Structure 1
Amino acid sequence: MKAVAVQTFGAPDGMAVVEVPAPAPGPGQVSIAVEAIGVGGVDAVIRRGTLGGLGFSSGIILGSEVAGTVTEVGPDVDRSWIGERVWAFTGTGGGYVEQAVAAVEHLERIPAELTNEAAVALGSSGSVAHFALQHAHFAPGESVLVRGAAGSIGLLAVQLAAEASAVAVTTSSPDRGRRLRDLGATHVLDRSGEGDGPATYDVILDVVAGPELPAFLPKLSPNGRLVLLGVVAGPPPDDFTEHLVRHFRRSLSVATFSLDTIPVSARRPVRRDQFAAAARGELDPVVHDVMPLDRAADAHQRMDAGEVFGRIVLTP
C-alpha cells in the first residue's frame, strides 16, 4: 500500500511516498480502509526532528488519526465492527497510509451527519482542548487567552471556552480575526499579544511556545495559569525559568499538557459528545483544505508557512 514516510528530518521535502506492506490487525485491533487523515501540528514537529529524546527514527510514517471503514478485525475482536465508519487514533504515527490498524479502544463511531474530514479535524483536537481547560483549572467567568488560535486545537479551545467566558485570541491577520470572532472570540490580538483585550488573563492556552513565550508571562493575572499544548515554534528559550522567577510574587503556574495522561476511558465519552455536538452543528471542526495523500509534503509546507486555518485533511 501507499504511505508517506519521513526519510530526512527537517523540511517537508524530506518526506516521501513509499510502498509498504498493508498491516494486518493483531489481538484487540481492527484494520481500516482509510478515507481521511488529519494533519496535525505534532506531525510537523516530529517531521522537523525537534522532539528530541522520544526515539523517532527516519522511516517513520506520520499521522495519529484517521477516519474510514473497518474492513477486518483481530482474532479476539467482535466482528460487528466490520463495515462500521469510524474515527481512530493510530498512536504517534502510522496514519499517512491507505490502510491503518488501530486498537478497538481507540475507535469512535462517526455519526451519519458528520463527514470523515470533520471527524479527523475534531477527534484529537477537541479532546486536547477540553482536557487542557480542565488541566488549567478553568472556571466559568475567568478570562482566557488562546495563543495560536488558528490551528485545530486553538479553534476548538476558543469554542469550548466561549461557552462560559470571554476569550481573547492571538492571530496573524484581520481576516483570521473576523473568522475567530465568528467562532466565539471576544477579543482579537496580534501575534505579540497586543490588541483590544484585557491587560491580563486567568488562563493562557499556548500551542506555540518558542522564543516569544516569556513575553506572555506578564499577561497572566496573579495566580494565573499558562498551559503549553504544543511547541510549533520550538521549545521555550533556555532562560525561560529566569523569566518565570521574575514574576515569583504573582504566583504564576506554567504547565505542559498531553492527552497521553488522560485515561482512554475518560477520553471516549468526551469525544462521543463532541462528535454528537458537531453533528448537530453546535461545534465547528474547521477543515482548511482536503488534499491527496501524495501531496502530504505540500500540506506540511502550507503549515510551515502559516497558511492554515483549521486542519488540512489528506485522502488516499
Structure 2
Amino acid sequence: MCRAFGPPSGLTLEEVPAPRPGPGQVLIRVEACAVNFPDTLIIQGRYQTRPPLPFSPGGEVAGAVAELGEGVAGPPPGTRVLAMTSHGGFAEMAVAGADAVVAVPEGVDAVTAAALSYAYGTTLHALRDRAALRPGETVLVLGAAGGAGLAAVQLAKLMGARVVAAASAGKLETCRDAGADAVVDYRQEGWRERVRELTGSTGGVDVVYDPVGGPYSEPALRSLNWGGRHLVVGFAAGEIPRIPLNLPLLKGCGILGVSYGAFAKREPNANRALVGRLFAWVLEERLRPRISATYGLEDAAAALDALLSRNVTGKVVLVTEPQPAAR
C-alpha cells in the first residue's frame, strides 16, 4: 500500500478487504504483476495520473478471473487472463475494466504473461502500428537493456529489421544476447558518430525507439535517415527533451507519439489482437520475455528500488506465490 507519496521505502504490506468489481469490471486473483517504470513515478506522485490515497501500485497483472461485475458477460470465473489495471496490481486481488482483459492461452505461464503487456505491447504497437517498420530497415533502440528496450530489440529482429542497441557499457552484452546486430555505449561522448559509422552508406537509421528522453533524444533524432521515424515512448532519463523543429523539416522525418494505454482503451479489440500476436510468438518459441528477477509481494519496495537504480535488465515481476519457471 502507498499511503503517502514518496520513495519505495514508504510502501507497507497490509491485510485489507478484497476489492469488489463494479459495473463493467472484473475481479482477478493475481498470480503475477510486472514492475514497470510508471510504478516508480505513481508512488511519488509524479505520474500523469494520481490515484486517491491509499492505493496499491502495479498496472500489469496476470491471474484468474474471480468475479464479474454487473453487466460483464465474460470471461467466466476461472479463466486465466492478462489485464492492464493502471494501479492496484501489487496485491492478491485486483480489479480491471472488462475491456482491458485478455485471455491467456494454455501453455503461457503467469510470469511470462505479466511481462508482455506494457513493454511488449507498447513496442509492437510502436514498431508495427506507428512506425510501420519494414523488413530490412534499421532501428536504433535507446535504453536497450531495460524492459521496453529489450522488447524493442527482440521484436524489431522478429520483424526483420537490423538493430543498433544503445545502452550503458555494462549492459551491451545483454543487448547482443537479445539479438542486436550492433551496440553502442550512449554514455560515451561521440556516440552519435559511432551510430553513423555503424549505418555506413545508408545515411542513418530508419526508426528510433526512444523510451529514455533527456539528453539522448536529440542526437538520436539527428541520426535518422531521410523519411525516418522517431518513436516517443517515454522519459526514463527524467527530462522531457526540447527538440528543434527544424530537424524533422530538414530530414523529412516524423516524430511519433506512442501511447499504448490510450490505444488499448480506445481500440480494445485491436489490442486483443495485438496481444494475441504476442502470445502466438511465445507459443511458437520465437519470443521469450527477458525476466531479470521475480520478487514476492513483501519485497515490492526492493523490486522498485532495483528498477530505480538501473540494476535491471529486462523485466521484473512480483508473484503472489511460487510460480513455475518462466518460458
- Alpha-carbon shift at residue 6 of structure 1 (Å): 5.6
Shift in alpha-carbon separation, 1:269–1:247, aligned structure 2, 3 A: closer
- Alpha-carbon shift at residue 16 of structure 1 (Å): 2.8
Partner of 1:311: 315
CA contact (8 A) 1:7 1:16 kept: no
Task: Give, in whole Å, the separation in 2 of the partners of 1:73 and 1:204.
Answer: 41
| Aligned counterpart in structure 1 of residue 151 of structure 2, from 137, 153, 156 | 156
Further displaced range: 12-21 or 107-116: 12-21
Partner of 2:229: 225
- Alpha-carbon shift at residue 45 of structure 1 (Å): 2.8
Further displaced range: 187-196 or 202-211: 187-196
- Alpha-carbon shift at residue 58 of structure 1 (Å): 4.7
Pairs aligned (count): 306
CA contact (8 A) 2:124 2:155 kept: yes
Q: Percent identity?
A: 34
State yes or no: 1:104 paired with 2:98: yes
Partner of 2:173: 178
- The alignment's TM-score, normalised by the length of structure 2, stands at 0.85
SS in 2 for 1:177: helix
Partner of 2:5: 8
Task: Give, in whole Å, the separation in 1 of the partners of 2:247 and 2:31.
Answer: 50
Partner of 2:164: 168
State yes or no: 1:25 paired with 2:44: no
Map 1:1-316 to 2 at 5 A. 4-5=1-2, 7-9=4-6, 11-51=7-47, 54-56=49-51, 58-78=53-73, 81-90=76-85, 92-133=86-127, 134-163=129-158, 164-174=160-170, 176-192=171-187, 193=191, 195=194, 197-198=198-199, 200-237=204-241, 240-241=242-243, 243-245=244-246, 248-262=249-263, 263-316=267-320
Q: Which amino acid aligns with 1:245?
A: N
Task: Give, in whole Å, the separation in 2 of the partners of 1:300 and 1:111.
Answer: 29
Task: Give, in whole Å, the separation in 2 of the partners of 1:305 and 1:55.
Answer: 23
Shift in alpha-carbon separation, 1:33–1:311, aligned structure 2, 3 A: same
- The alignment's TM-score, normalised by the length of structure 1, stands at 0.88
- Alpha-carbon shift at residue 234 of structure 1 (Å): 1.3
- Alpha-carbon shift at residue 244 of structure 1 (Å): 4.1
- Alpha-carbon shift at residue 80 of structure 1 (Å): 6.1
CA contact (8 A) 2:33 2:89 kept: yes
CA contact (8 A) 1:120 1:313 kept: yes
Task: Give, in whole Å, the separation in 2 of the partners of 1:269 and 1:206.
Answer: 24
Q: Which amino acid aligns with 1:290?
A: T
Root mean square deviation, CA, Å = 2.2
Task: Give, in whole Å, the separation in 2 of the partners of 1:247 and 1:132.
Answer: 19
Deviations for 1:77-118, whole angstroms, at most 9, x for unmatched residues? 34661111211111x211111101122222222222211001
Structure 1, unpaired ranges of 5+? none
Task: Give, in whole Å, the separation in 2 of the partners of 1:282 and 1:218.
Answer: 33
Task: Give, in whole Å, the separation in 1 of the partners of 2:75 and 2:57.
Answer: 29
Q: Which amino acid aligns with 1:289?
A: A
Task: Give, in whole Å, the separation in 2 of the partners of 1:125 and 1:21.
Answer: 31
